[in-house]
Amino acid sequence: MPAFSFARYPALLALLSQLLSLIITWLLLLGLARAGGWHISLLSAAWMQGSIAALVGWRLGLSRWWLPINLCFVPGLVLLQNHALPPWLLLLGFIALLLLNWNALTERVPLYLTGTAAERLLIQRLARLPAGFRFIDLGSGLGGTLLRLAKAYPSGHFVGVETAPLTFLLCWFRCLLQPNCRVRFRSFWRESLGDHDVVYCFLSPAPMPALWQKARTEMAPGALLISNSFEVPGVAAQEVLPIDDWRRSCLFIWQPGTDAQPDGGAASS
């Protein structure tokens, strides 16, 4: 099981970015005040903090969609400090977060988004497959990776499955006009893996043993199981592709239908 990493929990990484940027902003403002007697308004200071938070988050590897949140979080608090929010708005925000992260409660799989470096590596690896390959993303999230892969390989067939309601709707809408891409509101446990040449996942350590057993039973010989960051305990991957990011994460690749052994191990390459 991989060691704990902030990078695998983007909300915690965003929080870390905010805390670091608060410290940096305070030091900058203190230095400006002492050096030149400069003082800025609270809102200007908030925008400075937000800009630094976005920059820190980007450097730490946060996905791009987190950066506007980092930028606007503290300025938003400042703008709303004299405005009482109605209870229904807070409830609506909570429900939206719940619907986006439903899988974290039901299947212990938080919303992880594939980074740009991992996407580039996936595109390179898929280039080695025959034209017309069939690809499924188990937990397609907001659909960015699925959509970009489908555009990169217009002759391929791409399927995403997702069960977090709001996440599914966003993913489905983004992929709606891509002719070689479909998104299903379905648990990947109910999805047959036998029709796909590539099964991709970015889940968590919790479901990997059960997913391995499902893959061994259902996947065709030669089909690839690709896991972003999380290994199958006790099963060596046939390929390990390092991702060129600061986390030093990897894509782990198996061929369960070909190389799985009766004891659950894998043939070494």
pLDDT of residue 42: 84
Q: How confident is the model at residue 4 (pLDDT cuts 50, 70, 90)?
A: very low
pLDDT attached to residue 85:
58
pLDDT of residue 261: 45
Query: Is a pLDDT exceeding 90 seen at residue 140?
Result: no
Provide mean pLDDT across the span 198-203.
92
Q: pLDDT for 20-59, tens place per residue?
A: 998 998 888 888 888 877 778 888 888 898 899 889 888 8
Q: What is the pLDDT of residue 187?
A: 86
* Nearest C-alpha neighbor of 163 from the set 252, 121, 102: 102
> What's the predicted TM-score (pTM) here?
0.62
Tokens of 56: 């820190």
Q: What confidence category does residue 267 fall into, taking pLDDT thresholds of 50, 70 and 90? A: very low
Query: Is the pLDDT score of 198 beyond 80?
Result: yes
Q: Tell me the pLDDT of the chain averaged across its residues.
A: 80
Is 90 exceeded by the pLDDT of residue 229?
no
| Pick from 47, 68, 44: nearest CA to 57 | 68
Q: Specify the pLDDT at position 116.
A: 85
How far is the C-alpha of 162 from the C-alpha of 143, rounded, in Å? 10
Tell me the C-alpha to C-alpha distance, in Å, between residue 35 and each of 29, 40, 44, 75, 167.
10, 14, 19, 25, 49
Domain 116-259 architecture: 3-Layer(aba) Sandwich (3.40)
How many other CB atoms are found less than 10 A from the CB of residue 107? 18
**Is 105's pLDDT higher than 50?**
no
The domains of the chain are located at: 6-84, 116-259
pLDDT at position 246 is 65
Give percent of the chain above pLDDT 90: 39
Residue 170 has pLDDT above 80, yes or no: yes
- Measured N-to-C along each axis, helices 67-79 and 10-36 cross at an angle, to the nearest 10 degrees, of 60
